[in-house]
Amino acid sequence: MKIKTLASELSEKKEKLSEVFLNSGEESFNKNLSELYDEYFVKSLEYILENSTLFTNPFALVALGGYGRQEQAPHSDIDLLFLFENSPQEDEAEKIVRQILYPLWDYKFTIGYSTRTISTCIKEAKSDLFNFTSMLDSRFICGCSSLYFKFAEKFRAYISKSPKKFIEKIILQSEKRHNEYGNSEYLLEPDIKNGMGGLRDYHTIRWIGKINFNLNELKDFQYQGYLSESEYPEFIESLEFITRVRNHLHFLTKRNSDKLHFDHQLKIASRLGVIGKDGKTPVESFLGELHLRMNFLKEIVLMIQNEIGRPKKLGIKRVYKKLTKVEGLEIKNNLLGFKNSKAIIKDPSLLIEIFKVSGLKKVPLNSESKRLVHDFGYLVDDQFRKNQKNIRAFEKTLTIPYTENHPLDSMLNTGMLSYMISEFKEITNRIEYNDYHIYSVGRHSIRAVQSVQRLISDKEGLKNSDLYSSVYSEIRPKRVFLWAVFLHDIGKGQKGEDHSISGARTAKKILKRFGIKKEYIDTISFLIENHLYLVKTATRRDIFDEETIIACAVKTKTAIQLKMLYLLTLADSMATGPKAWTEWNESLVTSLFLKTLRVLENGSLSAPNAIYHLEKKAGEITSSLKKITENAEDIVAGMPPTYIFELSNSDILVHSQLYIKLLKSDRLFVMEVEKNKDSGLRRVFFCAKDRPGFFSNAAGVFTINNMDILDSRAFGWKNSIALSIFTVTAPLDTVYESEIWDKTRQDLEKALENEIDLKSAVKSRKQGFFKKNIFNSKDYVKIDNDSSSFYSIIEVHTKDYPGLLFELTNLLFRFGIDIKNAKIGTKVLQVVDVFYVSSIKEGGKLSKEKCEKLRIEILKELSKIREEDYEEN
């Protein structure tokens, strides 16, 4: 019964200790808790020994693992070893265990225990690395002390047989763990224990220290020269912070959990009493600090691993000792360093050069050189920044593919990036609290740069990597693009304003400081300001609507800017996290990119400065229109760019006036005839409510009124209005010309209402034509389904005759085809007609089968017309 009381006391004491921790965040909680457990074991063993004489087999109670290190976490198992001198009899161990542990179980403590002799201990350590490391942390609690020290001695002897081998195993295991827990999911919701920079990393170097120099206390890392005087306190602070977070996590979840889920993050931030500042919410500040601490721990671990573990490991792989030609740098034990600090003072460029060399040679910096960069950072001034050699060295680091010791990461960790670009400090540890961004803004910027290399590498297994690398190969200059990727989120340092806009402004300031050409600065700031444009457009606009694509082309202006923006968009989302980088998003953005690129490279907008002229022209038309209507802006906004681009200002004004007239009337169309007395030609303008067949009917009406069509253009405005211009021969009788035009208008009205049979009327007009024109050439019809993203393009080459345009367009109408844009040209009886068409019923381009059927049908129609003509004559 006595032991039961002890257990209940322990439970109460733990409760009190926990309360103190939760109220004041007391730092020695874990040590105090370990001591409470010690006290229980000491007292309960005393009690057992006092009340029994049965034990002839000496034994000791030994704390292992975290309990051994006196770092017991609130809900972690109590890791206990019952060490016996001789193999215990069957019920001997059982009896002791039962008396000591059962009361603890009753009070819901969780205990992991084993009963072993010294030789079974060594055997277990041999077979299992986990047992080995937990014994590395062993600590005597009570019982036969000489037995424990005999064990410690044997264990030490076992280690000293091949310490290097153990260290290698431990490092290998830690690398494996990093691979497993280092993926992005754990960055969003970090694992405090197993994640990168988690407590396990600290345990790892502690074990290495134990093996290598029999570490006794943490300060030994400093005494042994692994940590500098300034690093040691930061190391301890980081450990304490992470431990505190883990304690809270245990209390919060009431169990042994290490993963910091989203809802825990909010609660722990408030339990820690973190206050938000500089525009960050409390939880963002908290996560910022946690990332900083964990990253520091990770750096320390990598450093110590590199120093202690690396040479041997690489020795096995037989890597040649690499050399560097750069004066003032040297490679030793496969680590890069400065020859001495004087070299830096003599040539400050080494401060950036060392990162370039590290990246190109794939050799990490040694810890001493990282310290030196940190200490000599003050040498980076505006003169340093304007030095072309330094700029080039930095730009080189932007092209290094992702590796574990990437120079940009090292530059961030040593503070070099902030020395080069003071604005970078603002975003280095800025966390955005959502399930979307997995890195701090600073780290994300670096990942984005590295993602560019991942996109174009064929090793990543990305579906479209050949597209990406083809686009990348056409980007010039690459360094301009990479600056934009690197600085795209620099605006997140400021609060309030849209970060794209403030980022573009900040980037301008930074780049000026580096003395970058104005032309390049403009491109970079354009890219930064619009780095979300493609994603937004692809997901929020209809990319199957030509307007969207044209607007995108107008915005991005040139093919080269579009290509840069495209890769920036992909690199940005890839570096943001798995929720941003999905095939779903990628496929939308890529479609938008390819469609827009085609407009910029092949369409009428591909001419040099096309976009500039387009905007200028639209402005001119708007101001002319303002003199006659209030709705000038709306009317111009309704005109598609190709229309504005291809017609003259005066033609567009005629159309606009017709449009205003049409809106006021209830007619189906309005028309205007422009007379040119000298040439005997007439230009006829139409503005009509868009209906399939209008173009065809108009063509037919000209024919029956004895006017030949020499040229014509048709366009659709955005608000279902069809505009067209026909150039026709003047009517035969020019004296009563206005009467003829009145008749033409009435004929068209009747034709649209199906009141006259245009088909036979046209037929009678062309009779005898071919008889007179025996000179014949081959017909040629081509249907292009690839050049436009929205329309099938039909090209017809044939011999002209009266009514041809009517017959052709009528055939298209019968096929259920809508003509969006037509270009009719005649050269001495040879006709080239181009139609941009879409399917009326299904929308979009014609199917492949329909294209072929239509092609054959057009050819048939062309020869049929001729045959009929021959027969009848």
Partner 1 sequence: MKKIEAIIKPFKVDDVKEALNEIGIEGMTVSEVKGYGRQKGHKEIYRGAEYVVDFVPKVKIEVALRADRAEEAVRIIREAAKTDNIGDGKIFVSNLERVVRIRTGEIDEDAL
Binding flag, residue 206, partner 1 (CB under 8 A): no
Binding flag, residue 582, partner 1 (CB under 8 A): yes
CA nearest neighbour of 561 among 602, 591, 533? 533
Q: Pick one of 22, 97, 129, 588: the residue that binds partner 1 (CB under 8 A).
A: 588
HSE, CB side, 13 Å, CA atoms: give it for residue 653. Answer: 15
Helix (H, G, I), strand (E, B) or coil at 111: strand
Which range touches partner 1 (CB under 8 A), out of 295-303, 425-433, 553-561, 583-591?
583-591
Smallest distance, partner 1 to C-beta of residue 460, A = 17
**Residue whose CB is less far from partner 1, 120 or 591:** 591
Number of neighbours of residue 64 by Cβ within 10 angstroms: 23
Smallest distance, partner 1 to C-beta of residue 597, A = 7
Distance CA 64, CA 60 (A): 13
Binding flag, residue 587, partner 1 (CB under 8 A): yes
Q: Pick one of 134, 334, 789, 798: the residue that binds partner 1 (CB under 8 A).
A: 789
Q: Are strands 335-338 and 329-332 parallel, antiparallel or unpaired?
A: antiparallel
Smallest distance, partner 1 to C-beta of residue 85, A = 58
Smallest distance, partner 1 to C-beta of residue 470, A = 6
Smallest distance, partner 1 to C-beta of residue 604, A = 19
Q: Pick one of 447, 595, 655, 766: the residue that binds partner 1 (CB under 8 A).
A: 595
Which range touches partner 1 (CB under 8 A), out of 659-667, 674-682, 684-692, 839-847?
839-847
Binding flag, residue 594, partner 1 (CB under 8 A): yes
Binding flag, residue 736, partner 1 (CB under 8 A): no
Helix (H, G, I), strand (E, B) or coil at 114: strand
Smallest distance, partner 1 to C-beta of residue 810, A = 24
Distance CA 333, CA 314 (A): 9
At residue 638, φ and ψ (nearest 5 deg) are -80, -10
CA nearest neighbour of 699 among 836, 797, 822? 822
**Residue whose CB is less far from partner 1, 257 or 464:** 464
Binding flag, residue 584, partner 1 (CB under 8 A): yes
Q: Pick one of 256, 591, 629, 729: the residue that binds partner 1 (CB under 8 A).
A: 591
CA nearest neighbour of 831 among 866, 798, 787, 791? 798
Which range touches partner 1 (CB under 8 A), out of 119-127, 165-173, 578-586, 764-772?
578-586
Smallest distance, partner 1 to C-beta of residue 637, A = 19
Binding flag, residue 843, partner 1 (CB under 8 A): yes
Smallest distance, partner 1 to C-beta of residue 263, A = 17
**Residue whose CB is less far from partner 1, 12 or 583:** 583
Among positive and negative, which fits the CA dihedral 383, 385, 391, 397? positive
CA nearest neighbour of 812 among 783, 850, 854, 752? 854
**Residue whose CB is less far from partner 1, 366 or 537:** 537
Smallest distance, partner 1 to C-beta of residue 556, A = 16
Max CA-CA distance within the chain? Answer: 140
**Residue whose CB is less far from partner 1, 434 or 602:** 602
Distance CA 699, CA 686 (A): 12
**Residue whose CB is less far from partner 1, 494 or 821:** 821
CA nearest neighbour of 621 among 606, 608, 637? 637
The full DSSP string for 707-718 is --EEEEEEEE-T
Query: x/- binding map, residues 464-493, to partner 1, per CB under 8 A?
Result: x-xx--xx----------------------
Residue type, 1: M
**Residue whose CB is less far from partner 1, 161 or 540:** 540
Interaction residues for partner 1, span 596-635 (CB under 8 A): 597-598
Give yes or no for a contact between 574 and 451, defined as CB atoms under 8 angstroms apart.
Answer: yes
CA dihedral 451, 457, 459, 461 (to 10 degrees): 70
Binding flag, residue 563, partner 1 (CB under 8 A): no
Smallest distance, partner 1 to C-beta of residue 841, A = 10
Q: Pick one of 72, 204, 366, 590: the residue that binds partner 1 (CB under 8 A).
A: 590
Binding flag, residue 256, partner 1 (CB under 8 A): no
Interaction residues for partner 1, span 512-551 (CB under 8 A): 539-542, 544-545
Binding flag, residue 842, partner 1 (CB under 8 A): yes
Strand (E) or helix (H) holding 785: none
Give yes or no for a contact between 437 and 576, defined as CB atoms under 8 angstroms apart.
Answer: yes
Show the CA angle centred on residue 620, arms to residues 643 and 836, nearest 5°: 5
* 843 backbone φψ class: left, alpha, beta (φ>0; ψ -120 to 50): left
Q: How many residues bind partner 1 (CB under 8 A)?
A: 28
Q: Are strands 111-117 and 78-84 parallel, antiparallel or unpaired?
A: parallel
Which range touches partner 1 (CB under 8 A), out of 106-114, 229-237, 611-619, 842-850?
842-850
Strand (E) or helix (H) holding 52: none
Smallest distance, partner 1 to C-beta of residue 539, A = 5
Binding flag, residue 560, partner 1 (CB under 8 A): no
Number of neighbours of residue 7 by Cβ within 10 angstroms: 20
Cα–Cα distances in angstroms (integers) from residue 663 to residues 630, 635, 657, in the given order: 14, 12, 10
Smallest distance, partner 1 to C-beta of residue 196, A = 30
Binding flag, residue 719, partner 1 (CB under 8 A): no
Binding flag, residue 765, partner 1 (CB under 8 A): no
Smallest distance, partner 1 to C-beta of residue 279, A = 28
**Residue whose CB is less far from partner 1, 276 or 844:** 844
Distance CA 447, CA 581 (A): 13
Distance CA 380, CA 383 (A): 8
Smallest distance, partner 1 to C-beta of residue 475, A = 14
Smallest distance, partner 1 to C-beta of residue 524, A = 25
Which range touches partner 1 (CB under 8 A), out of 235-243, 460-468, 612-620, 698-706?
460-468
Strand (E) or helix (H) holding 336: strand 335-338
Cα–Cα distances in angstroms (integers) from residue 557 to residues 472, 560, 584, 596, in the given order: 18, 9, 26, 10
Residue 409 tokens read as 């990461």
For the chain, how big is the Rg over CA atoms in Å? 41
The residues that touch partner 1, with contacts defined as CB under 8 A, are 464, 466-467, 470-471, 539-542, 544-545, 582-585, 587-588, 590-591, 594-595, 597-598, 786, 789, 842-844
